């Protein structure tokens, strides 16, 4: 039997992850196996870890995790979960990165998917000053 595509879990401080998932659904439409888990203000870190573990287990560990930043509570909770599971993911999640992960998860898994997502994200960050100056010069900036 062929293994399902990995579930994508987006985790973050506050509701950033939930709204990022909602924004991606505006582009993709309804997406299966895509979840968010926000660390709400005042939430006990151990309770968050338990929720994350339950969510990972609900997909039998077949997950790819996108986290907002390295070093924060969501990241630390993921690191603890990875002690007993083979997990892959990326930090610094953004809309282009999440779109890339969703687009590539049919063909790529694990480290390859993480490397592709990180590469695309680096390529999508740009200084728009020069572009906007050109638009202004040709009359599109008015």
Per-residue model confidence as pLDDT tens for the chain (142 residues): 567 899 999 999 999 999 999 999 999 999 999 999 999 999 999 999 999 999 999 999 899 999 999 999 999 999 999 999 999 999 999 999 999 999 999 999 999 999 999 988 888 888 889 888 888 888 765 5
Whether residue 77 lies inside any domain: the answer is: yes
What pLDDT, on a 0 to 100 scale, did the predictor assign at position 72? 97
* Domain boundaries, position 87: 5-136
Question: How many structural domains comprise the chain?
Answer: 1
What pLDDT, on a 0 to 100 scale, did the predictor assign at position 120? 84
Three-state SS string over the chain comes to: CCCCCCEEEEEEECCHHHHHHHHHHHHHCCCCCEEEEEECCCCCHHHHHHHHHHHHHHCCCCEEEEECCCCCHHHHHHHHHCCCCCCEEEECCCHHHHHHHHHHCCCCCHHHHHHHHHHHHHHHCCCCHHHHHHHHHCCCCC
What pLDDT, on a 0 to 100 scale, did the predictor assign at position 130? 86
Residue 44, domain CATH: 3.40.50.510
Whether residue 142 lies inside any domain: the answer is: no
What pLDDT, on a 0 to 100 scale, did the predictor assign at position 115? 93
């Amino acid at each position: 039997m062929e293994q399902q595509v990995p579930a994508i879990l987006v985790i973050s401080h506050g509701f950033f992850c939930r709204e990022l998932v909602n924004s991606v659904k505006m582009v993709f439409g309804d997406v299966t196996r895509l979840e968010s888990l926000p660390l709400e203000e005042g939430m006990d870190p151990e309770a968050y870890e338990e929720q994350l573990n339950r969510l990972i287990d609900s997909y039998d560990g077949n997950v790819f995790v996108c986290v907002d930043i390295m070093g924060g509570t969501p990241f630390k909770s993921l690191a603890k979960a990875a002690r007993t599971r083979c997990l892959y993911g990326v930090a610094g999640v953004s809309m282009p990165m999440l779109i890339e992960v969703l687009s590539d998860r049919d063909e790529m898994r694990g480290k390859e998917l993480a490397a592709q997502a990180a590469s695309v994200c680096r390529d999508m960050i740009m200084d728009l000053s020069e572009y906007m100056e050109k638009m202004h010069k040709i009359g599109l900036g008015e």
